[in-house]
Structure 1
Amino acid sequence: MNVLELHHIDKNYKLTGGELYHALRDISVSFKKGELVSIIGESGSGKSTLMNIIGGLDSDFTGKLLFNGENIGEYSEKQLDEYRKNKIGFIFQSFNLISHLSILDNVTIAMTLSNVSKEERKKRAEKILEQVGLKQHIHKKPNQLSGGQKQRVAIARALINDPEVIIADEPTGALDSGTTDQVLKIIEDIAKRGKLVIMVTHSDKVAAHSSRVIRIADGEIIDDRKGRELAYVEETADSSDFPKGTKNLSFASAVTLAFQNMKAKITRNIWVSLGASIGIMSVILMLSLGGGLKAYVNQTINSMINPLVVEVNMDNHTEEPSVSKEEMNPLSGNSTPFTEADLETLSKIEHVDSMDKSVNIMGFGTNSIIYGDESTSVLSISTMSPNVTDSALLDGSFPGDNEIVIQDEIATALGGDMIGKSVTLKWLVDEQFYSADFIVSGIANNNYVNFEDLAQVYADNGNELQPTTVYLVTDDESHTDAIKAEIEKLGYKGSAQEAMMKLFNDMIDALTFVLASISGVSLFVSAIMILVILYISVVERTKEIGVLKAIGARRKDIKRIFVSEAFLIGLFSGMIAVTITSILGWIANRISSSLFDMNIVQMEMSYITFGIVTSIVISMLSGLLPASKAAKLDPVDSLRRE
């Protein structure tokens, strides 16, 4: 049975100006297993065009090309890829070895495309390379071999997937006469073992080794005659014991190939990754700075808050009309007070163990503390509550009965060492002055007295002191969130400190977003740089792409290799960015710790993950266009590229 049959094959090329060039004219010929056929002709005779059609590189023709009875002219692109991968082996005049791959990897590349295991690939390659006398050179690169050795590597690559047809395009054209005889002997032995070998040549000397010689001129077969007889050799039992790959290139294999490709241009790729990392590094650094500032603000505010205490205030916007503006004015000393009904409602909230009343008296120039002949104005006076922590106390102790804690600047204004001294507190509320004597028990960040002491002063003046703030105390910190949710549900407000902390956090978040966005502009520059570099890589490796397509690489495979390179650039860029940011963050934290006792940069795992993932995504998106361009390259045109 014929392995190949060509029936009335015609091939036309469209020239500039719309004219057609008839490259092949009504070619009808068949080939059998075990033949060594030389197709001989001058340059431009159509012999290379014929080989491209037989090899499945060119499917734009008319007529029928049957392979084992199947018309490959009707094959889909996927079927053509499989045909080239498993049925055809190419040997090129210029060897077309991939320079940055070892001899072993050059030979196994077709099996890699089939996702054959590494062990199986190596075993098969070593056997084939031993047959062509190159087993001891498997770890060398192509530039370390002679021309004859390179051609033997190309022959081993053609044989690796055990194809039925070997196409040799001027296999001895770049060799001297002695090496030519060695290569022809290997090719002859391949045919003797039952393969169909078709050689394209312009040399009668080479054609003399063939069992059949076909002459072609002006796109037509002008002679087809028998040559020398070949002694058929029965193939040994283990010569085809390596299964052909039926799978396709996996992402892991594509990444491995991409990594090998990138090593060939290691310096350039390091600079690209470093340049691309700048944008990612800036974004991570801005996020970490924002995180450090938020943590510092939250820590500072939380250090002044008892975690077992929930502060409650009235919501002035929901107050009843009976409450006057004067009563609700905090500058007058009386923001909206709690009623007995309010206090009873709050005390019944689940997990509330106790409740403390509090007020805050504000005044601009109306409130003062007097000691002897010295007097100083007081902006704010608060009553003690369980929400005041030890961090607020600078010296002395918190107030007991008829005692007061004053601010350090007030103590300085009154004479310095004020602990244990008696002072007079005067304040104005609703156009009425109140006055009371207290013993200074300590120095703090605010002025504090006990609610009961103020309430007694009010009572002595015929008034009642109503709390404007209530502190709910629980026995377990885990209950505070539930209590806060309940007071909000009831229509009350939380603490001013928490509102201030939220405001600061929102401001820091906004600032961080703006700075990160500005830094993110450099990501666009990085994307353009990666796109340009990969485009350059496509141009540089056009011939390599042609080789990969000739040995059965699908468009998907080519695209996957280049996208994998973009993936690796993104991964390396992200890792470089994280490393540099960590170093800069460590330096910044050392400085900020010594100056402000805080870590200004806080890198979280989420920032690191975001940075690396963003780097990979941007890089891969940038690589899509170059990868698509590479995938669409015509294999015939690519192989012609020098």
Structure 2
Amino acid sequence: MAFLELHDIHKSYYLGSEEFPVLKGIDLNLERGEFVSILGESGGGKSTLMNIIGGLDRNFDGAVIVDGKKLDHSKEKQLDNYRRSTIGYIYQSYNLISHLNIVDNILVSLDMTKLSNAERKQRAIDLLTQVGLGDQLKKHPNQLSGGQKQRVAIARALASDPDIIIADEPTGALDSQNTKEVLEILEKIAAEGRLVITVTHSQDVANYGTRIVHLADGKLDGDTRLKPAFPIPSNTEKIESKPLSAGASYNNAFKHLKYNFWRNSLIMIGTAIGLFAVLLFSGLGNGVSAFIQNQINSMVNPNSVTVMKNPSGKKMSTAAFQASMSKFASQPQKMLVKDSEVAKLRDIKNVDKVEPGYQLSTYTLSRGRKNSNGNGLQTWSKAFATNTIQTGHKPGNNEIVISKNEAISLSSGKNYKNLIGKKIKLSLPWITSKNHPVQVKGTLKVVGFTKGGSASIPAATNFSTMKQLLKDAKAETKANYISVNIKKSTQVKQAAKDIKNIKSDGKYTFGSITVGEILDTVNQYVQIATILLAAIAGISLIVSALMIIVTMYMSVSERTKEIGILRALGARKKDIRRLFTAESVFIGLFSAAIALVIAWGAAIGLNNVLYGIVKYNMVQITPTNIIVTVIIALIISFIAALMPSRRASRLNPIDALAAD
């Protein structure tokens, strides 16, 4: 039984509905160890027959049987495996991959074998040495002569240890000396027990083999035996083939990326600018949020819950409750809290301390002829952060702490600290128990200054002092807010929820505000602003994606012949897709790396400038920001490559090989 059998092969091409027969019933049996020349004039169907034997042409009638097994040309997977394990191609135009050196050209085929990396490299070098190119290993195809290129093509055809070598006009572009050397190599290959099929229109080349098959007008009209086939070696080990791995695809993609580095670098920089803007705005959003949190926590204890009377009696969100407070500014009597209501707060789980207090609106401080007007006098409680007082100590009975700005107004910018220990007058409006207006006055000793600037708080005295001042003025003495301190910060959220659920006479008694809720609200606005800014910056990413798409389409166009070569070597459609998506992903990764470097430098520069103003690093790029940026880069580059890579994988291998 012959190793390769062709039975009744018919092939036609169509122009519209008109049929042009090319092969008209080919029957041929070929053995291993033969050096068969298929001789005929141009247009006789020689190349078409070779494409059918090589598993590249699937649209024909008839049967191809290899080693007793019929090839099913409708099954693409089977044909891919057939080309990988059984077929080796040698072309008249060499069909080497220009951006790879000659060793890497051989490795393209060896990457589809089960040899280890070291074994592949060594086999590539050995094959090139065997064809006389052991001293040219680092050269690229454009640095070789025609004869040398053909030797590389022969070495690549042998790389995967195929049973059949198909040589399409292998000497057509060579001089007489190189022709002789190439034919000697092909004869040696046949002598190793392979089937060598050479397509030629040269009688001299055909006479070099063991057998000549003449093809004319799509039919075999001659089959001449010149000499016996070479004997088949026994017990020879064959290299096993396998599909191209993802690692090999990414490696090849990276090599092409390096080859076109300068062109690709422009795409990377353009993409990096968009990623940098997104990263910088995200870092700025983080910094602003952290700054606000720092400022609020420097004034307010995060374990504290500020509790106020809920005059509406309706359960509502914190934001709605805060909005409703403005309605009762002119009706302060509705905000007063009874002692019995304060007692209910002590029964809440995880409560550490309950401190009733006063939050009074406008007030005036005076010393001699100097006055300072303020808003929001409070009584001291655990709600204040421990570092609220910058100088001095918290107020005791008949004592008051004031802000640094107020101290300066009552003295001078240079001598304001001398105000500690001195007495000042306090005056503020309030109401009587019958809701009549009354002026509350008192003289208190200054014992400390609170932080200035954005972290400044109003003046504060303790609860017993303020209650006594109100009593002396015959004003209402009920508290109008309560500071509830919770044992652990992790328990604050639940405690605030429990407080809001307290009822009296079927109505909700309290509303509450926590530092976390304030921060959530503020951060929500910051986040919205950050997203909007990042989205505006993200428009450039759309442009970057379009640039990558154009680049990938250009790459497909430039590498059309390479696609045909890879398909002829046995690469699958998915391998071709992965080759281009991998290159695009590399562009995305390098773009992200460039963006990170630019963002890091910009963050350092901005923080140096802004720190002198706010004493805080306002750009804070987190690991999450970095990871998200890298993911965005990968997604954009991957999506951008989908259409070009799909187009590349759908190219007809025969047409791709014929591309200029």
* TM-score, length of structure 2 as denominator length: 0.90
Q: Which residue of 1 aligns with 2:80?
A: 81
Q: CA RMSD in A?
A: 2.5
Q: Which residue of 2 aligns with 1:275?
A: 270
Residue 466 (structure 2) aligned to one of 454, 464, 473 = 454
The one-letter code of the counterpart of 2:55 is G
Q: Which residue of 1 aligns with 2:239?
A: 243
Q: Which residue of 2 aligns with 1:523?
A: 541
Matched residue SS, 2:445: strand
Q: Which residue of 2 aligns with 1:595?
A: 613
Q: Which residue of 1 aligns with 2:347?
A: 348
Q: Which residue of 2 aligns with 1:434?
A: 440
Q: Which residue of 1 aligns with 2:10?
A: 10
Question: Structure 1 residues 88, 373: closer, same or farther in 2, change over 3 A?
Answer: closer
Residue pair 2:425, 2:441 contacting (<8 A) in 1 also: no
The one-letter code of the counterpart of 2:247 is A
Matched residue SS, 2:222: strand
Superposed displacement of residue 442, structure 1: 3.4
Matches within 5 A, 1:388-467: 388-389=384-385, 391-416=387-412, 417=416, 418-419=419-420, 420-429=422-431, 430=435, 431-444=437-450, 445-462=457-474, 464-467=476-479
Corresponding position: 1:537 with 2:536: no
Matched residue SS, 2:360: strand
Question: Structure 1 residues 426, 223: closer, same or farther in 2, change over 3 A?
Answer: closer
Question: Structure 1 residues 578, 415: closer, same or farther in 2, change over 3 A?
Answer: closer
Which structure 2 segments of 5+ residues have no match?
316-323, 451-456, 503-507
Q: Deviations over 1:101-127 (max 9, x none)?
A: 222221121221346431231233334
Matched residue SS, 1:150: helix
The one-letter code of the counterpart of 2:440 is Y
Residue pair 2:496, 2:513 contacting (<8 A) in 1 also: no
Q: Kindly tell me the number of residue pairs found equivalent between the two proteins.
A: 630
Corresponding position: 1:290 with 2:285: yes
Q: Which residue of 2 aligns with 1:146?
A: 145
**In structure 1, how many angstroms separate the alpha carbons of the residues matched to 2:534 and 2:232?**
71
Superposed displacement of residue 66, structure 1: 1.8
Q: Deviations over 1:156-211 (max 9, x none)?
A: 11112221111100011111101111110010111122211110011111011011
Residue pair 1:115, 1:248 contacting (<8 A) in 2 also: no
Q: Deviations over 1:7-32 (max 9, x none)?
A: 221111112x4322211112222212
Matched residue SS, 2:212: strand
Residue pair 2:55, 2:73 contacting (<8 A) in 1 also: no
**In structure 1, how many angstroms separate the alpha carbons of the residues matched to 2:125 and 2:245?**
23
Matches within 5 A, 1:491-640: 492-495=510-513, 499-640=517-658
Matched residue SS, 2:336: coil
The one-letter code of the counterpart of 1:224 is D
Question: Structure 1 residues 343, 114: closer, same or farther in 2, change over 3 A?
Answer: farther
* TM-score, length of structure 1 as denominator length: 0.92
**In structure 2, how many angstroms separate the alpha carbons of the residues matched to 1:592 and 1:422?**
38
**In structure 2, how many angstroms separate the alpha carbons of the residues matched to 1:223 and 1:327?**
106
Superposed displacement of residue 553, structure 1: 0.8
Superposed displacement of residue 375, structure 1: 4.9
Identity among equivalent pairs (%): 37
Question: Structure 1 residues 373, 601: closer, same or farther in 2, change over 3 A?
Answer: closer
Matched residue SS, 1:248: coil
The one-letter code of the counterpart of 1:317 is S
Q: Deviations over 1:455-482 (max 9, x none)?
A: 1233345555122222233555555455
The one-letter code of the counterpart of 1:535 is Y
Corresponding position: 1:204 with 2:203: yes
Q: Which residue of 1 aligns with 2:321?
A: none
The one-letter code of the counterpart of 2:547 is M
Superposed displacement of residue 597, structure 1: 1.0
Farther-moved stretch of structure 1 (305-314 vs 521-530): 305-314
**In structure 1, how many angstroms separate the alpha carbons of the residues matched to 2:79 and 2:439?**
100
Matches within 5 A, 1:250-265: 250-265=245-260
Matched residue SS, 2:49: helix
Residue pair 1:315, 1:493 contacting (<8 A) in 2 also: yes
**In structure 2, how many angstroms separate the alpha carbons of the residues matched to 1:424 and 1:96?**
95
**In structure 1, how many angstroms separate the alpha carbons of the residues matched to 2:129 and 2:100?**
19
**In structure 1, how many angstroms separate the alpha carbons of the residues matched to 2:75 and 2:325?**
87
The one-letter code of the counterpart of 1:274 is I
Q: Which residue of 2 aligns with 1:381?
A: 377
The one-letter code of the counterpart of 1:191 is A
The one-letter code of the counterpart of 2:471 is A
Residue pair 1:12, 1:20 contacting (<8 A) in 2 also: yes
Q: Which residue of 1 aligns with 2:305?
A: 310
Q: Deviations over 1:567-593 (max 9, x none)?
A: 111111111111211111111111111
Residue pair 2:113, 2:239 contacting (<8 A) in 1 also: no
Q: Which residue of 1 aligns with 2:505?
A: none
Residue pair 2:33, 2:232 contacting (<8 A) in 1 also: no
**In structure 1, how many angstroms separate the alpha carbons of the residues matched to 2:251 and 2:650?**
22
Matched residue SS, 1:243: coil
Matched residue SS, 2:184: helix
Residue pair 1:294, 1:505 contacting (<8 A) in 2 also: yes
Which structure 1 segments of 5+ residues have no match?
none
**In structure 1, how many angstroms separate the alpha carbons of the residues matched to 2:327 and 2:201?**
106
Residue pair 1:333, 1:361 contacting (<8 A) in 2 also: no
Question: Structure 1 residues 460, 172: closer, same or farther in 2, change over 3 A?
Answer: same
Q: Which residue of 2 aligns with 1:20?
A: 19
Q: Which residue of 2 aligns with 1:169?
A: 168
Farther-moved stretch of structure 1 (626-635 vs 337-346): 337-346
